[in-house]
Every structure is written in C-alpha cells, then in structure tokens.
Amino acid sequence: MRRLKVFNQVTVDGYFAGEDGDLSWAHAAPQDAGWRTFVADNAKGGGTLLFGRITYELMASYWPTAEAKKNDPAVAEGMNGLPKVVFSRTLDQASWSNSRLVRSDPVAAVRAMKQEPGKDMVLLGSGSIVSQLAQARLIDEYQIVVNPVVLGRGGRCSKASETGWS
C-alpha cells in the first residue's frame, strides 16, 4: 500500500499563509546548506505530488520557469518531472507537466490511490485538503517545518467543512 506524507511550513504562531495567501515569509530567511540539501533530497524522492488548487497554481507558476531552474535546479527537476495530482472543482484542466486533475472527492480519490501500486505520495501545502485527509485518517506521516516567523494573522488550516475545496 502506498503511503501519504504531508509536507508543510508553518509559522511559530500557527499560520500556513499570510494575509491574502502570501507565502513570502516562507522564503524570506537565508537558506542554509542543510535546508537546501533537505529540500533537494525530498524532490529526488520520487512518488506522486498532490496539491489543492491554490498550492498547485502557485507551484505551477514558478517551478517551470527559467528562474526556478537557475535558482534550484534539483528541486525544479523533481517538481517538473514527478507525476502530480491537483484536486479542484473549479479548474478546467491541469496544464503543468505530468499533472492530472481530480474533480471528485479528495478523500475517496486518495483512498483509491493508496491502493494502487507505485511509490508514496506527498501532499504539499493545501490546507483544506490536508484537513479532509487528516479527518479521514489517510495521512501516514507529517513533515512540518516551523519557521521562526510571527505573522499575527493569515491563513490557518481549518476544518474541511468550513473551508471546502476549490
């Protein structure tokens, strides 16, 4: 059975995103060699990447760019090359390389994907999807990076029934 991991960054006061979805805080601090190695190793791990629509659109707007390939070539290669699944009821198509769109219930879809042969899956960001999958007890491992940043307000992972998914 395939395993599902969640990788998220959070501030010390519990926010996944700043106001209006701002994520610049997650990349503002200088990145040391240990962090770069950790991220590059994760990108080389293989498997399938899972996203909610908002995280997918953010990632798809950056990782295929020349800037991403120049700044983080190993991560860009992994992000662009790995198979990806985006959960969305509002997207018309998944246009990023190796992506497919799932418009059905994320819980049912992940439950089925866990039964398929293949490498593990990693869900990046995507707070409302994380919440739904956690409530269904489908997450096998959490990797949470706590950044030494205090935002004071912004987005927190709330109950799926309150946030839904788009």
DSSP readout, 25-81? Answer: HHHHSPPPHHHHHHHHHHHHS-SEEEEEHHHHHHHHHHTTSHHHHHH-HHHHHHHHH
All domains of the chain in start order, with CATH: 4-163 (3.40.430.10)
User: Quick one: how far is CA 72 from the chain centroid?
Assistant: 17
Please tell me the pTM assigned to this model. 0.84
The answer on pLDDT for 61 being more than 60 is yes
Least confident of 41-50, 58-67, 152-161: 152-161
- The pLDDT score that the predictor gives to residue 14 is 82
Least confident of 6-20, 27-41, 86-100, 121-135: 27-41
Which tops the pLDDT comparison, 71 or 161?
A: 71
The answer on pLDDT for 164 being more than 50 is no
Could you tell me the pLDDT band of residue 43, with boundaries at 50, 70 and 90?
low
Distance in angstroms (rounded) separating the CA atoms of residues 19 and 110? 29
Segment 77-94 mean pLDDT? 94
DSSP secondary structure letter of residue 136 = T
The answer on pLDDT for 160 being more than 50 is no
Distance in angstroms (rounded) separating the CA atoms of residues 43 and 79? 7
Which tops the pLDDT comparison, 72 or 49?
A: 49
**Cβ partners under 8 Å of residue 111, min gap 6:** 136, 138
